[in-house]
């Protein structure tokens, strides 16, 4: 019985830690790091050798992962969740099309949701911040724009939808 309680507490604690890292914030990129798979902070997506099954067959793993990317962002403003003080580090695997974290001096809007990182340049017009819905497709599970929209979207309007969800 005590073991079940321990496992339940560990699972709920792990979930709260993961959700505490979710958020939406504006900031400036300080550093982007690219790492190949198999290095200290970027585990291999597949084991070195396939697993040998009882029937003698060997399973293999095929991946199009290109390694890992890490981005340090100096946080200017937090919109959702907690981004911590100063600099926030976000990480993701590099996919089939290569790294996508920006190396830029421009302000960006970063969304972290269930471990997935997406971002958009922040475009300020008439005192309002706009995002590109092709880059930042959803925030907290809410689509940022209608399907196939090409126009920039006002961040404050999306946040109203997110908070009313």
Q: Is it the case that residue 11 has pLDDT exceeding 50? A: no
Q: Which of 109, 64, 67, 62 is nearest to 88 (CA)?
A: 109
* Integer Cα distance of 142 and 136 in angstroms: 11
| pLDDT for the residue numbered 93 | 93
Comparing 83 with 57, the larger pLDDT belongs to: 57
Q: Which fold is adopted by the domain 2-36+68-164?
A: OB fold (Dihydrolipoamide Acetyltransferase, E2P) (2.40.50)
Three-class SS of residue 109? strand
Q: Where are the domains of the chain?
A: 2-36+68-164
CB 69 within 8 A of CB 32: yes
123 has a pLDDT exceeding 90: yes
Distance CA 131, CA 156 (A): 10
What is the band of 15 on the pLDDT scale with cuts at 50, 70, 90?
very low
pLDDT of residue 108: 98
Model confidence at 12: pLDDT above 50: no
Confidence band, pLDDT 50/70/90 cuts, at residue 58: confident
Please report where in the chains the tokens 């995002």 appear, as a residue.
Answer: 131
Alpha-carbon span 160 to 164, nearest angstrom: 6
> Of 135, 27, 44, 17, nearest to 86 (Cα)?
27
CA angle 156, 139, 44 (to 5 degrees): 145
Say if residues 99 and 66 touch (Cβ distance below 8 Å). Answer: yes
What are the tens digits of pLDDT across the range 125-162? 999 999 999 999 999 999 898 777 779 999 999 999 99
H or E stretch at 76: strand 68-81
Specify the pLDDT at position 115: 85
SS3 156: helix
pTM for this one? 0.77
Tens of pLDDT, residue by residue over 60-119, are 888 888 899 999 999 999 999 876 678 999 999 998 899 999 999 999 999 999 889 999
Q: Residue 132 has what pLDDT? A: 95
Residue 22: is its pLDDT beyond 70? yes
């Amino acid at each position: 019985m005590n073991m079940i309680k321990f496992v339940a507490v560990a699972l709920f604690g792990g979930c709260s830690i993961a959700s505490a890292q979710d958020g939406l914030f504006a900031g400036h990129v300080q550093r982007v790091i690219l790492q190949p798979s198999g290095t200290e902070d970027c585990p291999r997506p597949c084991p070195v050798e396939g697993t040998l099954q009882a029937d003698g067959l060997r399973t293999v793993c095929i991946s199009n992962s290109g390694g890992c990317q890490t981005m340090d962002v100096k946080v200017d403003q937090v919109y959702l969740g907690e981004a911590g003080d100063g600099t926030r580090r976000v990480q993701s695997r590099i996919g089939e099309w290569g790294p996508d974290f920006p190396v830029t001096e421009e302000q960006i809007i970063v969304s972290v949701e269930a471990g997935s990182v997406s971002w958009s340049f922040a475009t300020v017009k008439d005192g309002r911040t706009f995002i590109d819905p092709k880059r930042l497709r959803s925030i907290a599970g809410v689509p940022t724009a209608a399907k196939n929209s090409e126009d920039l979207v006002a961040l404050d309007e999306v946040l109203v939808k997110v908070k009313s969800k």
